[in-house]
Structures are given as structure tokens and as C-alpha cells.
Amino acid sequence: MTREDPPAPVDLSPAWPARAAWGTATRLRAWQSAALEQYFSDEPQDFLAVATPGAGKTTFALTVASELLARRVVDRITVVAPTEHLKTQWAEAAEKVGIPLDPSYAGRAGKTSTDYVGVAVTYAGVAVNPLAHRIRTERWRTLVILDEVHHAGDAMSWGEAVHEAFDPAARRLALTGTPFRSDVNPIPFVRYEDGPDGVPRSAADYTYGYAHALADHVVRPVLFLAYSGEMAWRTRAGDEVSARLGEPLTTDLTAQALRTALDPRGSWIPSVLQAADRRLSEVRRHVPDAGGLVIAGDQDSARAYAALLAQVAGEKPVVVLSDEKSSSKRIADFAAGEQRWMVAVRMVSEGVDVPRLAVGVYATTISTPLFFAQAVGRFVRARSRGETASVFVPSVPALLGFASELELERDHVLGRTISDEDDIFAAEDELLARAQQTQDEVTDDALPFEALNSQARFDRVLYDGGEFGHAGEVHVGSEEEMDFLGIPGLLEPDQMRSLLQQRQSDRARSQQARDRAAAKERAERGEPEPVAEVSTHERLAVLRRELNGLVAAWHHRTDQPHGVIHNRLRRETGGPAASVATAEELHARIDKLRDWAQAAS
């Protein structure tokens, strides 16, 4: 079932609210109660719960574990997590609800202390010795919790190991916030059903998506601040190339422009970090302990970004480079403290719970929907109403597409035919390899060019499926940029939308007044009217904003998710995603939406 029609609240076992995982909720949320009702009604051996990051998957899973232990359905718990840090985090959360787990267990050890009710391991650890885990699973009636289960498909050997180790389990509970992968490797213990096109898709037993969690005030809305600018680099052949970040380019040129922007020796990333710090200062006016996170692509870049932030913010940021135990402690200290910034390399992209993170900078070249969703998930954990997350992103078509369709729920698709190079589901080998490499690896494509210089320009804001910004080029540090950086840190979603629209329209009216005054002066002097020249990128930006504004209005009229509306428009009018569509294609979608509105009135 889905979150669309949750069952009414039921009389739950007294164990459930009392054993809710510490730090997530003092009482069970509506979706957790509904999912628990379904789970204990069906009593399945396998259950896949898909819940958006920040919704409380840990609470749900540990409540299931507590109840199964209390009913003596199982005797032992095994938690499988993607990283060393996350298995420790699971052990700490479980300890607080009376389920002691051993996070240092290794399959080769065979046994663990009788003080423990179970163990917490990683997918990589299971792959090292699946037989040892199988023997343990056979010895006791075991509940296996597979956290972020899509990682079990990271390698064929991992999937096979998970199957071998946990096939004898009495119960298996799979959890994920992103039930899709960038490849077609099947996810173990996940049911696949044929879709309308005959292609198998993952089937969740319970789904609680971002759009529903946002409506329930379980997660924060996200304000995406996109930055473009001019880039220049030298190719391996010695040719100098200049391009504007975000304009239609080939895949290779887009990747090189993005790497140029993220080069700490240029001007783009320092400007964006400075803007992000200004945004964090504004947020901290209303949320004093709000923190920021920069997600870097490699260790050298992370250290360079940290040095830049130290100059901008006036204090050294926390730097997290690996899954070592000291890094876990640094994350925990940051989560409990009040430092302004943390810089991390992928480690904090998934599952790590730092609720005070409110401002982020996406400073990595990884451009897959899976990684982007996981990264944004670090900022959406709600603590109180009115908090809004702010994420700074490069104006790259793929990333802007992910941002505009954040609420669109996706399933893992097996054997899908790739026919559109702009398809956000495309399993591009290079991007996948980059997303799965370790922090210390250096790929060949990191070396074929030399970044020469870069300049940042504020591009637009994406919020609730709509786009907001000012016409023309907006310089970093200008009043036009501060219209959006200076938005208060505590606003309800409707207030945020209204304020964005107001600031955009106020600036437009001011510009129109200045234009009229200038025209009047020219007329008094007898000068002819200048011929206005609008660049292609400005015209496309205006059309995209108009389209997204209409999509947002249709969403509030019909309650359909923005992504669903965009997909329907693409089906009916043709063409690629709006971020790379032509002016003619955007006009066609605008006209189609107006036809819908007229027909519905």
C-alpha cells in the first residue's frame, strides 16, 4: 500500500510508542503506526518499507524488532548497514530502546557476548564471510534489518552474499529512502512486478514519499539556490574552451565545466561558499544551532574547501574524510555541537543523522538521481515547524532536474532500455563508477583538462517545483542575490512560496519603473528606443520559470506531484526534461497547461 490512504489509528501494543527510537520521535508518527498495523496484520517473512530520508525508518524498524522480540517471534536481531559509521549509529539507537547490538562483530569471530541481543554489520562485511553469517542466522530465529537495502546490489558478489547469509532468516525487514539504483542489478529480497510496459519494477509493501512527508510536516521543504557562471579550461589537446555553466552542452563539456566550477583555485566555488555562509548566518538568526554541510568529491577538494570556509566563516569547519572511528566521533560531536560548518567526502551522504543541518553545498561531480536524493536527505529532517533547508547547487541540467522533481517517487527498474541520453535513470557507466569509488581513488577522467578560471553568477531558486529569480545576469553579492539569501530561516511552506513570488515581482516592478523613467528621459531628449536583445539562455530561463509557476499552480489545484505533472506534459507534447527543452517545447507545455486550466474552470 502507499501513504495515500493510511488506515485510521489503531490500538497498538504499549511497547510501540515506549520503544520508539530515541532522537526521532517521542510518539509514533501516523505513517509508522499505519505501516506497523500492516506489518503485524500480514506477518510477512519479507517486508520492504520505502520512506523518505528523515521520516523515521529507524524508529519503525526498531519498533518492529521490539515487538517481535516481545512476542518471541524472533530471538536475535541482525542489522546490515552500508557503512561502519551507520552500523555504530544503529547500535546506539537500538541500545536506547533496550536492544543491545554488537557493532564490532565480525563473521570470523563466530560468537559475541551474551550481553548482546544481536549484531550490526556492513554489507561489505557480510560479503567477506557470508557462511559465518548464515550459520548465525540458522542458529537462532533471526530478524534481519537491511538498512538502505539498495546497497546490497552494489556488486553482484554483495547481492549473492546477502542471499546466502540471510536466506534462512525468520523475518527480513528491508528499508530504503531511495528504492532505485543507477544500474539494473537486482536488490536481494525485494519483490519485482511487471509494469505496464512489461519491465519489472521493485514493489514496496509500504511507501511514504517526500511529498506526503512534507504535507505532514515530517520533513522540511528544500530551497535550492542554483549558481551558473562563465568557465574556462584547457583540454588535454591544448585547446582552450569557454562555456557558461548550465547552458546546453555535450555530456563531456558539461562534466568539464562542472569540474572547472568546483576547482578551489577558481572563483566559482569560493563565491558560492561565501553565499552559503551568508545564508547560514540568516538561518541562524532564527535557528541558532543551524549547521552547514559541504559535500565534496575527493579529499583534496574537501581540505581546500575547508580552508576557504575558515576564511569566510571565521572558524575552522569539521572535516570528515573517511569511515574511520575518529570520523564517526567528529560527526557525532558536530551533531551535538554548534559549529557552523562540516565538510565531508560522501560519508555524510546517506543515513547519517545530523538534524541541525540546514544549509548544504552540493560540490561533487556525481550526477546520479540516487546520490542526489541521498545527499539532499541529509537536510530534510524536521525538528520544528517552519524550518526550511537551503541547498546550493551548480546550474547543471541533470541536478536542476532532480531538484525540480524531488517529490517524484521512483521504483527500481530492471532491464530498462536506455534510449534518451538525458534520461535521469540512464545507467551511465562513468557516473556509476564515480559514485561507487572510494574516496582515495582518482579516475582517469579527472586529468584530461586544466581549469583556467571560473566566475559565479546567481541563477535562480527552485522551490516546490517552481523557479524564482531575476531577469538578466545577477552578480554574487548584489542586492538581487540577497533578495533570496536573506529570506528568514523560519517560514511555513506557503509563506516561503509567497515571499519568493513577492520578492521576484517587487524587483520586476522596480525594474519596469526604472525602464519607464529611462524611456521618458530618452523621449524628452528625442533619442530613439534601443533595440532590446534577449539572449537565448535568458529567454529559456523566463520560459522555464513560467512553466514551473504554472505547474506549481496546477499542483495546488489538483494535489498532483510536480514530477507527475511534468511527466504528463512530456508525454502529451514530447521533448526532453524542461531543464534542456527548447523554447518551442516549453511554449507547447505552457499552452497545454493553460488548456487544462481552461477546461477545468
Q: Which runs of consecutive H residues, i.e. helices, occur in 386-492?
A: 397-404, 429-436, 479-485
Residue 208 Cα distances to 177, 358, 386, 410, angstroms: 9, 22, 21, 12
pLDDT for 2 equals 42
Q: Per residue in 33-74, pLDDT tens? A: 999 999 999 999 999 999 888 888 999 999 999 999 999 999
Average pLDDT over residues 417-429: 36
Q: Is 290 exposed, middle or buried (0-12, 13-18, 19+ CB in 10 A)?
A: buried
**pLDDT confidence bin for 492, thresholds 50/70/90:** confident
Higher confidence at residue 500 or residue 67?
67
Q: Per residue in 363-384, pLDDT tens? A: 999 888 778 888 888 898 888 8
Whether 39 contacts 73, CB under 8 Å: no
> What does residue 236 show for φ and ψ, rounded to 5 degrees?
-60, -25
Whether 556 contacts 600, CB under 8 Å: no
Whether 414 contacts 194, CB under 8 Å: no
**pLDDT confidence bin for 108, thresholds 50/70/90:** low
- Rg of the chain's alpha carbons, rounded to an integer? 25
Residue 116's nearest CA partner among 134, 104, 128, 132 is: 104
Higher confidence at residue 166 or residue 28?
166
Higher confidence at residue 392 or residue 176?
392
Whether 66 contacts 107, CB under 8 Å: no
CB atoms within 10 A of CB 43: 10
Average pLDDT over residues 156-176: 90
pLDDT for 84 equals 83
The kind and range of the H/E element at 278 are helix 268-286
Is the model's pLDDT at 152 over the cut of 60? yes
Amino acid letter, residue 64: V
- What is the pLDDT of the chain when averaged over all its residues? 80
Is the model's pLDDT at 77 over the cut of 80? yes
CB atoms within 10 A of CB 167: 15
Distance of CA 546 to the CA centre of its chain: 25
Q: What is the 3-state secondary structure (H, E, C) of 74-142?
A: CCEEEEEECCHHHHHHHHHHHHHCCCCEECCCCHHHCCCCCCCCEEEEEHHHHHHCHHHHHHHHHHCCE
Q: What is the 3-state secondary structure (H, E, C) of 542-587?
A: HHHHHHHHHHHHHHHHHCCCHHHHHHHHHHHHCCCCHHHCCHHHHH
Residue 334's nearest CA partner among 270, 378, 277, 396 is: 378
Beta-strand runs (E) in 437-567: 449-454, 457-463, 466-468, 474-475
Residues in CB range of 90: below 8 A, 6 or more apart? 58, 79, 81, 101, 103, 120, 145, 147
Whether 295 contacts 344, CB under 8 Å: yes
Strands 341-345 and 318-320: parallel
- Helix, strand or coil for residue 1? coil
Task: Report d(CA 378, CA 389) in Å as an integer.
Answer: 10
Q: How many Cα neighbours within 13 Å face the side chain of 13?
A: 16
C-alpha cell at 144: 534481519
Residue 521's nearest CA partner among 511, 531, 532, 529 is: 529
Residue 25's nearest CA partner among 34, 12, 16, 37 is: 16
Which range in 349-353, 400-404, 428-432 is most confidently predicted, on average pLDDT? 400-404
Strands 171-176 and 341-345: unpaired
Distance of CA 193 to the CA centre of its chain: 26
Is the model's pLDDT at 511 over the cut of 80? no
Residue 34's nearest CA partner among 271, 216, 293 is: 216
